[in-house]
């Protein structure tokens, strides 16, 4: 990285001041006050204008004014002849001084900031920075010092305060504000600490009273201003905008009542990206203002596409090794470098096996973790090296949900520690990017958006994000969730988001079935990268549409999404170089996605038919004789699947189990040297051969059948039969022998016991979804739960319920005792609160206290002699039914 700066020559110091203060300045200078240097910050009436040297007639400028009467300072911004930001107050209040009025000028210096740096993520990897910076130095009442730094670039302005003293300083508030013309248009999102609200249009003055999140977009004539902040870390807190209806005034409000730091203190940059829509969307100003990278060697940092299974099964999918291996297999078959396992995996013990399984297939595994699991140095010192030793590639860290100084100090610590372990980071439930990806280039993306996981993002919201949230840094929207929520845009528009939205990790949220149902989508996603050498806005307006061209190497990728009726998207190609190019576009057709091809030049315009709330994706490369596609080869493994029957069964000791294993090649075959086998516990016997195949082409499978005998003295409880498939990939010989295993869970029943989960229910009700037999509550469909687990112990038998609910079974007086182990299932992560009740013929015979997700399991045992009807009931603990997953583990009746 190259970095340099230079200070401009001095110009006459009297140009700093209004005429009414010239005599005062002369007196101060006679007393030894430092001399004033000025250049490029010219006197403008009663203020000073900061602009780029040799600025264009339509260039951006900041105007600083000092009111001689009360010593207040304001800042405004204009572009050409248009005032974009009207004069708004600047200043700061500490516990020692009020530096919002009574200010007197001391000096002014100007320098040119020139830098080059390289990113690991973003809309443009190689960046060049040119800014003019003017430092205005003031003293306040009592001699307190305040420096106001103002920077101006071609794409905006920014200012910050510097308190140059040493020792601790406590900031109580800022006077900082932005003032838009009352008539300006606005696109605003109500503020929440996780920035997960939809942007809505309004007028700058007409917006309702309340707090609004950065970035906030405003339109003044043909110019746009995007308000945000940069360079926030543990020295300070983040802020938000506070507005009172009736004016264009938006005050800056800190997240904390007060912020304490050790001086000298430089506050974050209050930032406005200013220009036309192309300038705003292509701007890197927020990163340009941030500190340089704190990681010297970035060679280990690798952005990429991610297979994310959360929206295809939620926590239950995360607890299933087979499901996660399936997503790893899909990633390996399509050249995606990562798979993400979300909330739920920590209740399992198979993560090291999954990571090794993925490593053999060239896929890195990313792990979800709650930030409270890493909020102390001791937790980080234990957890981070452990998952790195397993081979994890990175972390998705969730639920920070705060913009406080304390939380930013935590960001400083976790970023330092993850960088040391060479773990990539994705922040969810997080603050907004404020230059963090320049300073810590292992941050691949941040959520801070009302994204696809909500399942109902309107098309108008989708088409506003490119001009707002995504301008300031990578945005983990998680597109491609075709199987989830309410579809608000077409398939082609959803595919286009892989280009329209920038994110170092693109966490694609589709199910494998949804992908395979859309082969043109699969094909495009194989090719599209997640980082860009160059980005261009081609057309669009907030809330209406956005079309982008982004270059990676020699290829351009196109993406367009629209809100509104069907029509034709006109795509100008003047961003291309000279000569002939091959353009491929993917659009909505009558029976799914279709691909069109044509040869074009930079003078052409593509006309792409688009559906209602539709869009398109495209790929453009140099036209070469004989080339009929811009696709490049993908390093892939065969997509295979191993299934076993039965997945679970229950037998008596001395009986036998018939097991079938089927290994199939679904895509990208063949698989070679395929072998199937079964492994049984010691003392169990297996009959049946182990089938083999020298080669299995796509669409073929290999099946094995075995009869497994259970010894008469087999222990009661769970036993595993493990079916293994081994194979090689002829196209990837370096991968060696690949293995996949599936387990048949065999429960050996004790004599004289009837499990409630095996009995018919006379009646049942449940708070969410059906009552589950031998599974936890999945909240939606039958058999969508995970293993029954209470405080780390799994149970083979039992009922999974959700408050408020109950199950009734008819006993007809045939049983002697009822017993169960009860508690809140581990899947809710320590939350929830439930009361368990046992009723015999309508009379309560056992009731627990409120059991919460952190409580140990309780054992219940009651006499049911002569009882005809047994009721098992769960109620909430008085705090509502959220997370009330209640397990009746090992629920059994003794005869």
Does any domain span residue 357? Answer: yes
- Whether 601 and 692 map to the same domain: the answer is no
701 with 663: CB under 8 angstroms?
Answer: yes
Does any domain span residue 278? Answer: no
Q: What is the DSSP letter of 645?
A: E
Write down the pTM of the prediction.
Answer: 0.91
The rounded average pLDDT for each run of 10 residues, N- to C-terminus, in the chain (895 residues) is: 31 32 33 36 73 85 96 97 97 97 97 98 98 98 96 98 95 98 98 98 98 98 98 98 98 98 97 98 98 98 98 91 97 98 92 98 98 98 98 98 98 98 98 98 98 97 98 98 96 98 98 98 98 98 98 98 97 97 98 97 98 98 96 97 96 96 98 98 96 98 98 95 97 92 96 94 96 92 90 94 97 96 92 97 97 96 97 95 96 94
Torsion angle (degrees, nearest 10) of CA 380, 384, 385, 389: 160
Torsion angle (degrees, nearest 10) of CA 501, 507, 511, 515: 50
Which CATH number covers residue 324? 3.20.20.70
pLDDT at 43: 60
CA 279/CA 499 separation, integer angstroms: 18
pLDDT digits (tens, 9 = 90+) for 494-511: 999 999 999 999 999 999
pLDDT digits (tens, 9 = 90+) for 751-808: 989 999 999 999 999 999 999 999 999 888 888 888 999 998 999 999 999 999 999 9
pLDDT at 16: 32
Give catalytic residues, as residue numbers. Answer: 398, 453
- Whether 710 and 782 map to the same domain: the answer is no
- Whether 488 and 384 map to the same domain: the answer is yes
- Whether 51 and 142 map to the same domain: the answer is yes
- Whether 597 and 648 map to the same domain: the answer is no
Does any domain span residue 261? Answer: no
pLDDT at 779: 87
- Whether 86 and 200 map to the same domain: the answer is yes
pLDDT at 786: 87
End-to-end CA, the chain: 78
630 with 619: CB under 8 angstroms?
Answer: yes
> Residue 589 has which token pair?
């057709």
- Whether 680 and 798 map to the same domain: the answer is no
In a 3-state reduction of DSSP, which class is residue 238? coil
Does any domain span residue 379? Answer: yes
434 with 230: CB under 8 angstroms?
Answer: yes
CA 536/CA 123 separation, integer angstroms: 9
pLDDT digits (tens, 9 = 90+) for 257-271: 999 999 999 999 999
The H-assigned helical ranges of 561-686 are: none
- Whether 740 and 758 map to the same domain: the answer is no
State which of 255, 290, 321 marks the end of a domain.
255
Does any domain span residue 387? Answer: yes
- Whether 72 and 24 map to the same domain: the answer is yes
pLDDT at 25: 34
- Whether 167 and 192 map to the same domain: the answer is yes
State which of 725, 749, 773 marks the end of a domain.
749
The H-assigned helical ranges of 617-747 are: none
Number of domain units in the chain: 4
CA 469/CA 476 separation, integer angstroms: 11
Does any domain span residue 96? Answer: yes
Question: Which of 459, 612, 492, 607 lies closest to 559, judged by CA?
Answer: 492
pLDDT at 749: 92
Which CATH number covers residue 685? 2.60.40.10
Question: Which of 802, 744, 758, 748 lies closest to 776, judged by CA?
Answer: 802
Q: What is the 3-state secondary structure (H, E, C) of 609-628?
A: EECCCCEEEEEEEECCCCCC
pLDDT digits (tens, 9 = 90+) for 124-166: 999 999 999 999 999 999 999 999 999 999 999 999 999 998 9
pLDDT at 3: 33
Question: Which of 452, 454, 446 lies closest to 429, judged by CA?
Answer: 446
- Whether 741 and 824 map to the same domain: the answer is no
Question: Which of 77, 469, 541 lies closest to 276, judged by CA?
Answer: 541
Which CATH number covers residue 66? 2.70.98.10
Which CATH number covers residue 780? 2.60.120.1060
Does any domain span residue 46? Answer: yes
Q: Which residue has the tokens 């704190």?
A: 294
Residues spanned by the domain of 689: 639-749
State which of 255, 284, 312 marks the end of a domain.
255
Does any domain span residue 550? Answer: yes
pLDDT at 187: 98
- Whether 550 and 692 map to the same domain: the answer is no
């Amino acid at each position: 990285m190259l970095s340099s700066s230079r200070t401009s020559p001095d110009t006459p110091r009297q140009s700093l001041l209004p005429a009414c203060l010239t005599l005062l300045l002369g007196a101060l200078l006679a007393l030894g006050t430092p001399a004033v240097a000025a250049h490029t910050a010219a006197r403008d009436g009663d203020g000073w204008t900061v602009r780029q040297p040799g600025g264009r007639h339509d260039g951006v400028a900041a105007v600083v004014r000092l009111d001689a009467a009360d010593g207040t300072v304001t800042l405004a911004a204009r572009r050409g002849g248009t005032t974009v930001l009207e004069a708004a107050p600047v200043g700061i209040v500490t516990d020692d001084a009020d530096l919002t009025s009574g200010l007197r000028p001391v000096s002014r210096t100007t320098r040119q900031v020139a830098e080059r740096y390289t990113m690991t993520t973003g809309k443009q990897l190689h960046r060049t920075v040119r800014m003019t910076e003017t430092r205005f130095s003031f003293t306040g009442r009592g001699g307190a010092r305040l420096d106001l730094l103002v920077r101006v670039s071609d794409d905006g302005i920014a200012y910050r305060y510097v308190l140059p003293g040493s020792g601790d300083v406590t900031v109580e508030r800022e006077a900082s504000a932005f003032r838009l013309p009352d008539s300006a248009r606005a696109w605003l999102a109500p503020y929440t600490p996780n920035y997960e609200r939809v942007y809505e249009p309004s007028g700058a003055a007409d917006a309702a009273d309340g707090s609004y999140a950065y970035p906030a977009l405003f339109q003044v004539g043909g110019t746009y201003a995007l308000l945000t902040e940069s360079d926030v870390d543990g020295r300070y807190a983040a802020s938000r905008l506070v507005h009172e209806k009736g004016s264009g005034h938006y005050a800056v409000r800190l997240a904390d009542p007060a912020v304490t730091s050790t001086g000298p203190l430089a506050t974050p940059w209050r930032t406005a990206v200013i220009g036309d829509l192309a300038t705003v969307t292509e701007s890197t100003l927020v990163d340009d203002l941030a500190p340089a990278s704190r990681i010297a060697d970035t060679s280990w940092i690798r952005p990429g596409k991610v297979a994310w299974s959360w929206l295809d099964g939620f926590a239950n999918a995360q607890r299933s090794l087979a499901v996660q291996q399936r997503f790893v297999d899909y990633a390996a078959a399509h050249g995606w470098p990562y798979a993400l396992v979300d909330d739920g995996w920590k209740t399992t013990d198979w993560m090291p096996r999954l990571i090794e399984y993925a490593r053999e297939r060239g896929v890195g595994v990313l792990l979800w973790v709650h930030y409270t699991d890493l909020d102390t140095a001791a937790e980080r010192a234990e957890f981070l090296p452990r998952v790195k030793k397993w081979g994890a590639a990175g972390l998705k860290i969730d639920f920070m949900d705060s913009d406080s100084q304390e939380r930013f100090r935590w960001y400083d610590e976790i970023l330092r520690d993850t960088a040391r372990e060479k773990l990539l980071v994705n922040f969810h439930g997080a603050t907004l990017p404020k230059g963090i990806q320049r300073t810590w280039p292992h941050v691949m993306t941040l959520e801070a958006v009302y994204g696809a996981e909500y399942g109902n993002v309107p098309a108008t919201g989708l088409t506003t994000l490119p001009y707002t949230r995504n301008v300031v840094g990578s945005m983990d929207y998680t597109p491609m969730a075709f199987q989830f929520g309410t579809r608000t845009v077409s398939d082609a528009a959803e595919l286009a988001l892989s280009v329209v939205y920038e994110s170092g990790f693109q966490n694609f949220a589709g199910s494998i079935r949804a992908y395979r149902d859309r082969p043109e989508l699969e094909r495009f996603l194989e090719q599209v990268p997640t980082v860009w050498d160059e980005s261009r806005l081609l057309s669009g307006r907030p809330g209406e549409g956005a079309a982008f061209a982004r270059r990676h190497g020699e290829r351009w990728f196109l993406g367009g999404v629209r809100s509104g009726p069907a029509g034709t998207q006109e795509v100008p190609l003047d961003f291309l170089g000279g000569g002939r190019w091959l353009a491929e576009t993917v659009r909505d057709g009558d029976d799914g996605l279709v691909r069109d091809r044509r040869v074009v030049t930079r003078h052409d315009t593509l006309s792409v038919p688009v559906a209602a709330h539709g869009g398109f994706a495209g790929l453009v490369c140099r036209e070469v004789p004989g080339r009929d596609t811009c696709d490049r080869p993908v390093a892939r493994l065969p997509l295979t699947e191993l299934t076993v029957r039965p997945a679970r069964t229950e037998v008596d000791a001395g009986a036998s189990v018939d097991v079938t294993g089927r290994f199939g090649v679904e895509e990208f075959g063949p698989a070679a040297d395929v072998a199937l086998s079964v492994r049984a516990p010691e003392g169990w016997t297996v009959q049946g051969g182990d089938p083999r195949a020298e080669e299995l082409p796509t669409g073929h499978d290999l099946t094995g059948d075995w009869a497994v005998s259970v010894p008469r003295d087999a222990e009661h409880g769970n036993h595993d039969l493990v079916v293994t498939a081994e194979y090689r990939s002829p196209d990837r010989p370096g991968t060696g022998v690949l293995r996949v295993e599936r387990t048949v869970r065999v429960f050996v029943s004790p004599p004289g016991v009837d499990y409630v989960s095996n009995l018919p229910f006379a009646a049942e009700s449940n708070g969410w979804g059906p009552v589950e037999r031998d599974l936890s509550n999945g909240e939606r469909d039958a058999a969508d739960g995970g293993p029954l687990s209470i405080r780390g112990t799994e149970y083979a038998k039992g009922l999974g319920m959700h408050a408020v609910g109950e199950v009734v079974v008819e006993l007809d007086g045939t049983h002697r005792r009822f017993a169960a182990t009860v508690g809140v299932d581990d899947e809710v992560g320590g939350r929830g609160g439930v009361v368990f009740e046992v009723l015999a013929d309508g009379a309560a015979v056992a009731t627990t206290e409120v059991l919460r997700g952190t409580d140990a399991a309780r054992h219940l045992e009651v006499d049911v002699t002569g009882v005809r009807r047994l009721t098992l009931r769960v109620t909430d603990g008085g705090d509502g039914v959220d997370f009330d997953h209640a397990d009746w583990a090992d629920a059994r009746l003794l005869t």
